[in-house]
Amino acid sequence: MASKNSNEYYENLKEMSPIRAIAVTLMNNHNVRTVTLAEAYEMAKNQPGVTVTDLPIYPEYAKRHNLPAGAKVLNDCHGNIIGRTAKAVRYYNRQNSSFKNKLEGDFREAVWQMQHHPLIKAEAVLGMDPDMMIKATFITTESDVVNLFNWLLNFCPMEQKQEEYAKSKKIPIQDIILIAFNEWTCNDPYYNNVGAPQLSLVDEKHNVIVNLGMRYFGERKKGTLTMAWTSGIRIGMAACHGGIKEVDFSTCKDSRFHHLGKRSMAFFGLSGTGKSSHTNNHDNAGTLPEGFSKVVLHDDAFQIDLENHLCRAWEPTLFDKTDSRPLGHPDWNYTLSLMNHMVMDVDGKRMPLGQDLRNSNGRALLDRDLLGDWVNRCAFPKALVWLMKDSVMPPVIKINDKYLAIAMGAALMTQRNRAENVKEEELNKLVFEPFANPFRVYELYRDVESFLSVAESGADIYCFNSRGYWKDSDDVLDAIPLKTSLSLQTAILTDQLEWEPWDDVTGALIPTRESIEKVIPGYYDKYDPKLRGNKDAYKQVLVDRFQQRKDYLMTSDLTEKPELQAKLVAGLRVTV
């Protein structure tokens, strides 16, 4: 599949939004110079805030993309803002005509300001499978060239995929356009302001994303990905902000596993719930049977093709936090670029240090080779896992009611903690992020319908609790070590578990004593829901949390699909 340019897509050009028309005009301005990855690298070395370290760019990547031999990793340091800014987002298509006119005018003014600066652009391909490719163009100022360089690293320079892309079948989706202008000035209080104005303008219906006054690379990456995910939804796929891997059991030494064949498992969770740990762990802490083989599609972004019954990756790289990677960690060998790292003289070399020594949210672009074997498409998921930090949930439940299963994903939650300095009553309130995707810019019911189709197509759905299970209170918990969760993952993939009803929630199952004790001795007595201390308080919190899920879904935009909304809410049945 290949996307269409504006002239190909719009049979009636009057259907194009003014936002896209402004973006297309800038993109085609003769003063906007096209640069390659190699040119962007040379330019970025001289950008203020950038340090050329002595850490080599992953040599295989440098060779593959014609970067100079011995090219070094660049570290781009920002100022006060070192992460994404949700308050800066304005959704063009949700505005009334008055505010649409305002956004159009302010965007025109911003572009006029931009054109007083030297401008550059680059083209990339989103989608690593020839059957799912979208062209994207990024226009920015020369002063922002390091972000253009990183953007080309994160996706794939068009020059590398030109032949494949040209052969791809056209799809009814526009090319994506990204525009960024860091030096934007505007005094309007309508926009987020932290000493300078900020705007992330989203026009998802016309595949345009605009970053004004925002330096952080994550705005460029996730803005572009948001358009890709949304494009997939528009042609009937499920958008996944999650990780997925495929395990092949036909190569196991023990022939008893051969009948399992290849099985894919996907993980959806908010920060800190273990999404990457489950996706990327080499052998599930030694619990996978000897001789298995494994490939990773991606640990952050993919699309489930419901028609062709498979999954496809959007990106060839990883964008990871580095707070747990000290100097000398082997992952540094796969580094392509860095953001907001301390750089120190180490034995005469400028070396970047992780562990968030300079500021929080230090980030690295890493080559996928870090994961070992990877693929650009993999099998339809055998299982989906919602990862959540909910202390009243057992370590694992299997859900055999599809509406309960999707309701738990649509009301995917986390909890506040005392480290966040919030009031005591706030600690009891759940924070919801449907399907762990804060980048959804379309109606929630579209995701709900997509994941219902995934469940109806044969995927089993589970919830893993990655916080700890109520022992005597919401603060006194039975720990759930990562190895326990990884062992449960293996047991699910290999059909080692049998299931029985969880008495507290209709439609939810827990492992039987006989099956789980063979996998994790002592599990049943430790995590048996009947053995929770202070049982009345436990039941009350369980009821309250499911009620919060119901309340969230009742006030969401599922109201546009009342029958669907009613089925999801009815699926959340607590029996205590």
pLDDT tens-digit map of 87-101: 999 999 999 999 999
469-470 and 132-141 as β-strands: parallel, antiparallel, unpaired?
unpaired
pLDDT tens digit string along 476-486?
999 999 999 99
> What does the pLDDT read at residue 316?
95
Closest by Cα among 310, 173, 167, 177 to 235: 173
pLDDT tens digit string along 21-58?
999 999 999 999 999 999 999 999 999 999 999 999 99
- Say yes or no: 127 and 51 in one domain: yes
pLDDT tens digit string along 221-245?
999 999 999 999 999 999 999 999 9
Residue 373 falls inside a structural domain = no
Report the CATH number at residue 273.
3.90.228.20
Specify whether the CB–CB gap between 202 and 89 falls below 8 A: yes
417 conformational bin, left if phi > 0, alpha if psi -120 to 50, beta if neither:
beta
- Say yes or no: 557 and 459 in one domain: yes
> What does the pLDDT read at residue 420?
46
Residue 131 falls inside a structural domain = yes
- Say yes or no: 201 and 276 in one domain: no
Quick one: average pLDDT of 392-411? Answer: 98
Quick one: average pLDDT of 275-298? Answer: 96
Report the CATH number at residue 88.
3.40.449
72-76 and 335-339 as β-strands: parallel, antiparallel, unpaired?
parallel
Confidence of residue 254 (pLDDT cuts 50, 70, 90): very high
pLDDT tens digit string along 11-20?
999 999 999 9
Q: Is 416's pLDDT higher than 70?
A: no
Residues 6+ apart with CB under 8 A from 556: 410, 434, 444, 565
Could you tell me where the DSSP H helices lie in 477-561? 482-493, 513-519, 523-527, 535-555
- Say yes or no: 59 and 141 in one domain: yes
Residue 354 falls inside a structural domain = no
- Supply the mean pLDDT for the chain: 96
- Listed residues 182, 209, 233: the one ending a domain: 233
Q: Give how far Cα 144 sits from Cα of 26, 138, 434, Å.
A: 16, 11, 33
Quick one: average pLDDT of 518-531? Answer: 97
Quick one: average pLDDT of 425-451? Answer: 91
Quick one: average pLDDT of 121-142? Answer: 96
> What does the pLDDT read at residue 1?
74
In whole angstroms, give the CA distance from residue 225 to residue 292. 32
> What does the pLDDT read at residue 34?
98
Q: What angle separates helix 402-410 from helix 444-456, to the nearest 10 degrees?
A: 140
Instruction: Name the CA radius of gyration of the chain, rounded.
Output: 24
> What does the pLDDT read at residue 419?
45
Residue 159 falls inside a structural domain = yes
Q: Is 421's pLDDT higher than 60?
A: no
- Give me the residue label for tokens 């993999």: 378
Residue 560 falls inside a structural domain = yes
Closest by Cα among 449, 302, 444 to 380: 302
What are the tokens at 258? 């051969």
- Say yes or no: 566 and 481 in one domain: yes
- Give me the residue label for tokens 């005591």: 424
Amino acid in the structure at residue 216: Y
413-415 and 430-432 as β-strands: parallel, antiparallel, unpaired?
antiparallel
Specify whether the CB–CB gap between 338 and 349 falls below 8 A: no
Quick one: average pLDDT of 134-154? Answer: 98
For the chain, the domain total comes to 2
32-34 and 119-129 as β-strands: parallel, antiparallel, unpaired?
parallel
- Say yes or no: 203 and 270 in one domain: no
- Listed residues 233, 264, 297: the one ending a domain: 233
> What does the pLDDT read at residue 429?
80
Q: Is 418's pLDDT higher than 60?
A: no
Closest by Cα among 317, 318, 328, 377 to 64: 317
- Say yes or no: 37 and 128 in one domain: yes
Kindly provide the b/e burial profile for residues 238-253, where b requires at least 16 CB atoms within 10 angstroms of the residue's own CB. Answer: bbbbbbbbbbbbeebe
- Say yes or no: 475 and 539 in one domain: yes
Specify whether the CB–CB gap between 59 and 411 falls below 8 A: no
pLDDT tens digit string along 363-373?
999 999 999 99
Residue 343 falls inside a structural domain = no
Q: Is 555's pLDDT higher than 70?
A: yes
Q: Is 430's pLDDT higher than 90?
A: no
H or E stretch covering 141: strand 132-141
Residue 360 falls inside a structural domain = no
User: Mapped to the 3 state alphabet, what secondary structure does 443-486 carry?
Assistant: CHHHHHHHHHHHHHCCCEEEEEECCCEECCCCCCEECCCHHHHH
Quick one: average pLDDT of 60-82? Answer: 95
- Say yes or no: 207 and 246 in one domain: no
In whole angstroms, give the CA distance from residue 530 to residue 178. 54
Q: For residue 280, what are the domain limits?
A: 240-309+380-571
- Say yes or no: 212 and 272 in one domain: no
- Say yes or no: 396 and 477 in one domain: yes
Residue 317 falls inside a structural domain = no
- Say yes or no: 211 and 74 in one domain: yes
Confidence of residue 576 (pLDDT cuts 50, 70, 90): confident
- Listed residues 207, 233, 259: the one ending a domain: 233
